[in-house]
Amino acid sequence: MISVNNISLQYGKRILFDEVNIKFTQGNCYGVIGANGAGKSTFLKILSGEIAANSGQVVLDPGKRMAVLKQNHFEYDEETAIHTVMRGHHELWAIMQEKDALYAKADFSEADGIRTSELEERFAEMDGWNAEPDAAALLSGLGIVESDHYRLMKDLNGNQKVRVLLAQALFGNPDVLILDEPT
Ligand SMILES: Nc1ncnc2c1ncn2[C@@H]1O[C@H](COP(=O)(O)OP(=O)(O)O)[C@@H](O)[C@H]1O
Ligand SMILES: [Mg+2]
């Protein structure tokens, strides 16, 4: 499912990875162990594409989607809990934003109409109409009560934020889920 090919990375003189090759196959759960500072978090960031290695490549099987449990609890301060969850599916979220912007236009052109129908088709393929109820079900399942779903992230406590970010990572059934020291 994920192939890591000849990954090398060094920071200054410190060589973290030297021609690393490894395959992660579907259906398995892998743990990365090593001393503090060994490079575990850096390796996961390379896998998710958050940082680039000096050389080599990471290949995710075509059509597979990866999700990452975010550790920055302040990244979504101005967003509601439920929208934070939905943002976990980047493509779906981007389509929803573009659609909303098009429908809000005063001078909706013929080209806009064509673009909108493309977006609506892709949205339906991704089960977009169920996105909000799915996100709500995940939040409720993780113990976030309904009255908190539309509150801003900055108004939730630390424990609730972690749950929202976990729901975000799980949203839309990703094929690959990356967790770096989840508490
Ligand atoms: N952006 C960076 N620039 C320079 N050194 C870094 C950077 N990020 C991490 N490091 C160093 O790389 C090493 C591995 O860090 P990290 O991946 O966080 O380790 P782990 O998660 O295994 O504790 C550490 O020595 C850290 O100081
Ligand atoms: Mg780490």
pLDDT digits (tens, 9 = 90+) for 71-82: 888 899 999 999
pLDDT digits (tens, 9 = 90+) for 52-74: 999 999 999 999 999 999 888 88
Residues with CB under 6 A from ligand 1: 11, 16, 34, 36-42
Classify each residue of 7-40 as buried b or exposed e, where b means 16 or more C-beta atoms within 10 Å of its C-beta: bebeeeeeebbeebeeeeeeeeeeeeeeeeeebb
* Residue 106 amino acid letter: A
| 5, β-bridge pairs | 57
Strands (DSSP E) found in the chain = 2-11, 14-24, 55-60, 66-68, 176-178
Ligand nearest to the CA of residue 179, numbered in listed order: 2
